[in-house]
Amino acid sequence: MRAQTQIRTAAARLARAAAAVLALAVLTGCVPRELSPEARAVLTRWLAQDCDTGERGRLRLQLCKFGTVLEEPLMRAFENGPPPEQTDRAVNAAREQFAYTRRAIEAQQFSGLDLKQIEAIRSVPIAEHLKRVRENTVDGYRSAALAGLAAIGSRKGRQLLEKLARDPQSPYQDMARSALGQEVDLKSER
């Protein structure tokens, strides 16, 4: 009987210790926190960057409201790029627009274009165009993640921006430098 009590007591202590370790891990960011629906919506909208300038300012304020809660998701967004479905949607939309434009040119149903512009459009292979669309989608998403990290002013985000700003090989060097330069302005808006 005494052995069972000792086992239960030890198990209870172990469970409390495990709960404390898990809580500490969540608080320190070692284990990702689940985002609230509102935070997820703001993050998704920010990364899409499909809003006008005035809305972008309001969205920046909302992003800052969540602060470091969005640090890890923004870091992952930069590291991983957009979800494949998002990139595929952009490429498919570009493919449809490309086909529509080509049909309009072939049917001579266009206005405002001279022959030189028409030839320039005809000279671009669809594969090249779609490759650029894919690259631009990834770059835009990753740049939005960096701008978000600058906006919330988190420690890890700042470290990443500084690292990229110092790296002459990084395609995001200019974006990081610009984001670091704007960081002071962003803090004064909060």
Summarised one tens digit per residue, pLDDT across range 96-134 is: 999 998 888 888 877 777 889 888 888 999 999 999 999
Instruction: Report how far residue 149's alpha carbon sits from residue 147's, in angstroms, rounded to the nearest whole number.
Output: 5
User: Which amino acid would we find at residue 43?
Assistant: L
pTM confidence score: 0.72
Instruction: Give the pLDDT band of residue 83 (cuts 50, 70, 90).
Output: very high
Same domain assignment for residues 70 and 92: yes
Same domain assignment for residues 101 and 185: yes
User: Which pLDDT belongs to residue 10?
Assistant: 41
Question: What is the extent of the structural domain holding 2?
Answer: 1-31
Same domain assignment for residues 23 and 111: no
Same domain assignment for residues 21 and 36: no
Is residue 15 scored above 50 in pLDDT?
A: no
Instruction: Give the pLDDT band of residue 187 (cuts 50, 70, 90).
Output: very low
Instruction: Report how far residue 189's alpha carbon sits from residue 184's, in angstroms, rounded to the nearest whole number.
Output: 9
User: Which pLDDT belongs to residue 53?
Assistant: 58
Is residue 89 scored above 90 in pLDDT?
A: yes
Same domain assignment for residues 10 and 75: no
Same domain assignment for residues 159 and 113: yes
Same domain assignment for residues 4 and 76: no
Same domain assignment for residues 115 and 167: yes
- The DSSP letter of residue 33 is P
Instruction: Give the pLDDT band of residue 31 (cuts 50, 70, 90).
Output: very low
Domain count along the chain: 2
Instruction: Report how far residue 124's alpha carbon sits from residue 130's, in angstroms, rounded to the nearest whole number.
Output: 10
- The DSSP letter of residue 126 is H
Same domain assignment for residues 79 and 96: yes
Same domain assignment for residues 140 and 64: yes
Residue with the larger pLDDT of the pair 4 and 120:
120
Same domain assignment for residues 114 and 133: yes
User: Which pLDDT belongs to residue 86?
Assistant: 92
- Three-state DSSP class for 27? helix
Same domain assignment for residues 26 and 43: no
Instruction: Give the pLDDT band of residue 188 (cuts 50, 70, 90).
Output: very low
